[in-house]
C-alpha cells in the first residue's frame, strides 16, 4: 500500500511537470515496445502512431487493438485502436487512443494517408485531433496537430526512416503558453538475415535531451519472434515476443524502469494476409 501511494505521487508529479505532457505522441504496438520503440523503420499497422510512411507496405485490410499499463497503475492505462485500408491510390488509416482515467485523460484521433513511390521510398502524413480533460475546475482543451514520416530502402538490408510530430508547434492551452510537443525521430535498421533485424533510433523533443534507442528482433521459428531493446533518458530495458498466425498477430512486451518498475504492453492485429516488411529487390 505504501509503495502504491509513493508511486502514485511520483506519477502525479510527472504528469504536471510535462513528463506526461498534453498531446504526447505515445509510441504504440507490442512489437515496437519489445525493441525499445526503435520503430521508425518498421512496417506494420502501428506505424499509424510511430511513422506513417510504414503504413504504405500494408497490402490487406487490417485492424488492431492495444493496451499498455504504466507501472501497474490502472489510472495510467493507455488504450489504442487502428484500422488500415489499402487502395490503388495508397493506404488510408484511422487511429484512436485514450490515456488516463476519469479525472485526467488524453484522447487522440488521427486520419492518415501513406503511399509508396517506387520500391524504395514511402511517405505518410497524418492529421490529429487532440483533447485533454482534467476534472474539477480545470476543464477541457483541444487542438489540431499534424505529423509526417518517410522511409527509404538504401538496399536490401539497410532502411532509414524519419518522422516529425507537430512541426507547427501547435498551442494546446493559453496558460503558460502550453504547446503540443514537437518531436523528431531518425532511425536505421539493418537486416542481418531473414531471421535477425537490428534497429537504432534517436528521438528529440525540442524541449528535452535526446533519447537513444536500440533493439533487436529475432525470428526464432516460423510463428515466433523474440525481441529486446534498451533506451535512454530515462534508462528503460525492454523485451517481448510475438506470435504470428494466418489471420492475426499477437505481440507482448514489457519495459522496466529501475525505480517505477514494469510496464506491460499487448497488441493484437487482425488481417487477411500475412504482413511482412517488403525490401527492394
Domains and CATH numbers, the chain: 2-271 (2.40.160.60)
Q: For residue range 210-263, list pLDDT tens digits in order.
A: 999 999 999 989 899 999 999 999 999 999 999 999 899 999 999 999 988 999
Q: What is the arithmetic mean of pLDDT over 204-215?
A: 95
pLDDT band at 22 (very low <50, low <70, confident <90, very high): low
pLDDT digits (tens, 9 = 90+) for 125-148: 999 999 988 887 667 888 999 999
Of the two residues 20 and 242, the one the predictor is more confident about is 242
8 A C-beta contact, residue 71 and residue 262: yes
What single-letter DSSP state applies at residue 276? -
74: pLDDT strictly greater than 50: yes
Average pLDDT in the 138-162 region?
A: 93
Task: Please state whether the peptide bond connecting residue 234 to the residue before it is cis, i.e. omega within 30 degrees of 0.
Answer: yes
Burial 223-261 (b: 16+ CB within 10 A, else e): eebebbbbbeeeebebbbbbebeeeebebbbbbeeeebe
Q: What is the mean pLDDT of the chain?
A: 88
Q: Which residue has the cell 510463428?
A: 223
| Res. 2: pLDDT tops 50 | no
Total residue count of the chain as it appears in this document: 281
pLDDT value, residue 35: 97
89-93 average pLDDT score: 96
Task: Please give the DSSP secondary-structure letter assigned to residue 208.
Answer: S
Q: How many CB atoms lie within 10 A of CB 273?
A: 12
Work out the average pLDDT over 153-174: 92
The pLDDT of residue 8:
54
pLDDT digit string, tens, across residues 53-62: 999 999 999 9
At 26-51, the pLDDT tens digits run: 999 999 999 999 999 999 999 999 99
| Residue 266 pLDDT greater than 70, yes or no | yes
Range in 22-26, 87-91, 193-197 the model is least confident about: 22-26
CB 167 within 8 A of CB 148: yes
Q: What is the pLDDT averaged over residues 181-195?
A: 95
The mean per-residue pLDDT over the stretch 195-223 comes to 95
Reply yes or no on whether the pLDDT at 16 is more than 90.
no
pLDDT at 200: 98
Amino acid at each position: 500500500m505504501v509503495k502504491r501511494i509513493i508511486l502514485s505521487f511520483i506519477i502525479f508529479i510527472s504528469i504536471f511537470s510535462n513528463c506526461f505532457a498534453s498531446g504526447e505522441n505515445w509510441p504504440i504496438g507490442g512489437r515496437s515496445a519489445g525493441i525499445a520503440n526503435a520503430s521508425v523503420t518498421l512496417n506494420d499497422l502501428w506505424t499509424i502512431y510511430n511513422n506513417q510512411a510504414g503504413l504504405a507496405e500494408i497490402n490487406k485490410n487490417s485492424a488492431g487493438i492495444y493496451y499498455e499499463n504504466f507501472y501497474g497503475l490502472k489510472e495510467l492505462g493507455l488504450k489504442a485502436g487502428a484500422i488500415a485500408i489499402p487502395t490503388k491510390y495508397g493506404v488510408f488509416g484511422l487511429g484512436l487512443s485514450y490515456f488516463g482515467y476519469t479525472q485526467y485523460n488524453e484522447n487522440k484521433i488521427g486520419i492518415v494517408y501513406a503511399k509508396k513511390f517506387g520500391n524504395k521510398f514511402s511517405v505518410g502524413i497524418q492529421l490529429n485531433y487532440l483533447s485533454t480533460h482534467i476534472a474539477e475546475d480545470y476543464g477541457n482543451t483541444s487542438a489540431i496537430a499534424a505529423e509526417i514520416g518517410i522511409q527509404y530502402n538504401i538496399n536490401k538490408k539497410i532502411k532509414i526512416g524519419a518522422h516529425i510530430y507537430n512541426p507547427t508547434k501547435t498551442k494546446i492551452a493559453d496558460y503558460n503558453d502550453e504547446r503540443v510537443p514537437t518531436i523528431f525521430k531518425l532511425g536505421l535498421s539493418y537486416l542481418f538475415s531473414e531471421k535477425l533485424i537490428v534497429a537504432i533510433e534517436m528521438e528529440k523533443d525540442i524541449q528535452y535531451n535526446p533519447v537513444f534507442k536500440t533493439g533487436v528482433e529475432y525470428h526464432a521459428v516460423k510463428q515466433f519472434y523474440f525481441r529486446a531493446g534498451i533506451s535512454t533518458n530515462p534508462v528503460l530495458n525492454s523485451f517481448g515476443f510475438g506470435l504470428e498466425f494466418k489471420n492475426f498477430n499477437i505481440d507482448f512486451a514489457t519495459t522496466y524502469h529501475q525505480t517505477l518498475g514494469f510496464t506491460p504492453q499487448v497488441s493484437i492485429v487482425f488481417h487477411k494476409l500475412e504482413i511482412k516488411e517488403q525490401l527492394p529487390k
